[in-house]
Structure 1
């Protein structure tokens, strides 16, 4: 039969996991924590507490393992540590990219009908007269002209109207939520697994900033080049990418 771990043993096991990859500083912190907790437990027993209560009191006084582990300066970066941090950073960027692309499709879908009505009201921004007459729309009795053009709009850039944008958005959001939970409950929240702040912000700012400029350029071009069926999707996705890039840059410039 397996013996249940005491509160101090459970605490030290958690700290051991969170200090993975910190090398000698982590080992010293673990030894110091064990020495302090044992001494505090003995003091509690001397004050009349039973052993388990004394251990719980010692652990509570020492502080959360996650908070203490974050104070340990990790050992010089090894290849394995670099790969771990790159994997976590890639997880964050991939989740954000999927959430961005899928969410841009959801917003385009929501804004599509007002945009189609705007195209009809302005004759495609002055590029096409009588756009509700043949041959521009089918000769169908009772056809809703704005509704027809709404159905022709692309929902996402390079994805067309049938792209599963909602599914992609949910997958991206799910990845980000899973990462947040994992960082709170596993060693992924320690310095051994966490990419350096400036590097991670740069990984967001550069690609999203470049994509924002590119998409906004094509959105402007499409608005006046008879390509309005994909203009809205490029505009929405470009603006969202720009917001992500700006937030990343502002966080990078904020003092630590």
Structure 2
């Protein structure tokens, strides 16, 4: 795949709207597709200052309803779309770990996102124990299997700026730790993911995430098996994020 993607996940950062706006205003369109997923509280304000061509996403949507309902504190796919978002993250390991999100919940979120016209960045990855026990492929295969019912909703063409589905491989043990698999390991896993998606008749770009920074992005970007990056902490540093974007452009 020739098109590359760099998506920043701000997580629960920054503390103020003004700091979030400053980060967003420093982004400019690039040869790769650039997107950011800020806090839902900052989404609308960032939309008003974001340069044309930068994709805007949510970090999460509720699985309980596609639009409205008596679910205090939740935000729906329809509401996120109405605020100007193009995509949403689904299945990030922090949601799986801290909020107990199951395959059933993730499937409902994907269904709601697609219904609302949002693209989905679907996050998968193994724990350190899985990695040490050489269960990575087994774990990823199970995580990808829930995509099977959505195959007919995911077009095979790649003409869209933001595909209907993007896969983000993030080893849980590499997120925010400074640790990363070797490039050879990442390429092996990405190849496995691609082959697994093919058996499901799904075509989607595959990004790498997990301690991506301005020092290692260039080596990742040179691999034909890595279609981009999902970036956490480095997306909050203007110069570092710009360097990662440049590496994939």
Q: TM-score range by the shorter chain?
A: under 0.3
Q: Which has the higher helix share?
A: 1
The TM-score normalised by the length of structure 2 is 0.21
Larger radius of gyration: 1
The TM-score normalised by the length of structure 1 is 0.20
